Amino acid sequence: MAHLSRQPLSWQEMDADQLFGSCPPDSSLCRYRMEMDLRKAALTKWPSLPPGFQCSNWKWSDCEDFATVLYRSFVDSPDAQIIPSFRTWEGCQELARVVAQNGYFWPSATLLIRDRNDPVGCIQVMGCPDGKVNIQNIGIVPNYRRLRLGNYLLARALSTVQKWGLGMVGLEVTADNAAALALYQRFGFVRLSEVWKPVVPLPRETREARENTHTISIPAYPESPAGGSDGSTR
C-alpha cells in the first residue's frame, strides 16, 4: 500500500523485524505478503462485467473517481487503521495522485470500473526496480462485492502484465480478509510471510466524532465524465 509521506512502498520494502516469526508491536495489524509467478500461470479470460458496467484504463481525469472508490472501499476497513489516507476522501485523492506520479506506475494495468456513471471498483499496479510487479490496491465498493468485480480487475491487470513478459507479481493483504485471500489463492498467489504494520491512532476529534455516530458521512464527490470501454488493455 502507499503512504502520503513518501513514494509508495513496494511489498519488498519491509524491515527485517517485521517479517514472519517476529514479535508483533503492541498495536499492530497482521498482513500477508503474497506472490505469484506469471510465467507458470495459465490465466483464463476475465469474466464479463454485468450489464451497464464499464472498465477503463487510468486517466488523470479519473483521479477523483479512483479516490471515490478507495474511500468507499476502505474507510471502514482494517486497512484504514494503518493507512490514514483511507480515512478521508481527500486523503484517497492525494493517495491516487502519489501512486500515479511514481516512476514505476503502470497506467495500462491500472483500471477503474463504473456502474454507468458511478465508480465502484479499481485496481492500481506498479512496477519495481528489480523488474517485479506490485498490486497496490484493489478496491470494490461494499454493495458491489458479490459481482466478481475483483476477479475481473485482477484477471485483466495480470493479463496485461503477462503480455509484457514479466513474471513475479507481489501484493499484501490483511490477514483476516478471507474473501481477498481466497481470490488471490484462486489465481495462484502463495503466502510468503507475515508483515506487522503499526496502527495509526485516529486524531482525538475524529475518534470522538465517530464514537457519537453510527454512520459514516460520505462527501459529495466531484463529478467526472464516464468513459472507457471494456476492451483489452495494451
pLDDT for 175: 94
In the predicted structure, residue 20 carries a pLDDT above the cut 80: no
Residue 120 identity: V
Q: Is 148 contained in some domain?
A: yes
**Enclosing domain of residue 62:** 16-41+51-211
pLDDT for 51: 95
In the predicted structure, residue 120 carries a pLDDT above the cut 70: yes
Question: Of 99-108, 150-159, 160-169, where does mean pLDDT reach its minimum?
Answer: 160-169
pLDDT for 49: 95
How many folded domains does the chain comprise?
Answer: 1
Of the pLDDT bands very low, low, confident and very high (cuts 50, 70, 90), residue 224 is very low
Q: Could you report the per-residue pLDDT of 30-71, keeping only the tens digit for each?
A: 999 999 998 887 777 778 999 999 999 999 999 999 999 999
Q: Is 224 contained in some domain?
A: no
Task: For residue 138, give the H/E element and its range.
Answer: strand 133-140
- Beta-carbon contacts of 42 under 8 Å, excluding residues fewer than 6 positions away, are none
Report the alpha-carbon distance of residue 229 to residue 111 in Å, rounded: 11
Q: Is 123 contained in some domain?
A: yes
Kindly report the backbone phi and psi dihedral angles of residue 105, in degrees, each rounded to the nearest multiple of 5, phi listed first: -60, 140
pLDDT for 204: 53
CA distances from residue 206 to 55, 75, 128, 145 in whole angstroms, order as listed: 34, 13, 35, 27
Q: Is 231 contained in some domain?
A: no
Q: Is 105 contained in some domain?
A: yes
Question: Of 19-23, 73-77, 102-106, 148-152, where does mean pLDDT reach its minimum?
Answer: 19-23
Cell (9 digits) for 109: 494495468
Report residue 64 CA to chain centroid gap. Answer: 15
Kindly report the backbone phi and psi dihedral angles of residue 122, in degrees, each rounded to the nearest multiple of 5, phi listed first: -155, 160
The CATH number of the domain holding residue 153 is 3.40.630.30
In the predicted structure, residue 107 carries a pLDDT above the cut 60: yes
CA distances from residue 91 to 8, 71, 79, 98 in whole angstroms, order as listed: 14, 8, 14, 10
| Higher pLDDT pick, 197 / 217 | 197
Q: Is 229 contained in some domain?
A: no
Of the pLDDT bands very low, low, confident and very high (cuts 50, 70, 90), residue 194 is very high
* Mean of per-residue pLDDT scores for the chain: 80
In the predicted structure, residue 206 carries a pLDDT above the cut 70: no
Q: Is 118 contained in some domain?
A: yes
pLDDT for 222: 35
Q: Is 4 contained in some domain?
A: no
Q: Could you report the per-residue pLDDT of 172-189, keeping only the tens digit for each?
A: 999 999 999 999 999 999
Helices (H), the chain: 63-74, 79-82, 89-101, 149-163, 178-187, 204-211
- CA-based torsion, 19, 24, 27, 32: positive or negative: positive
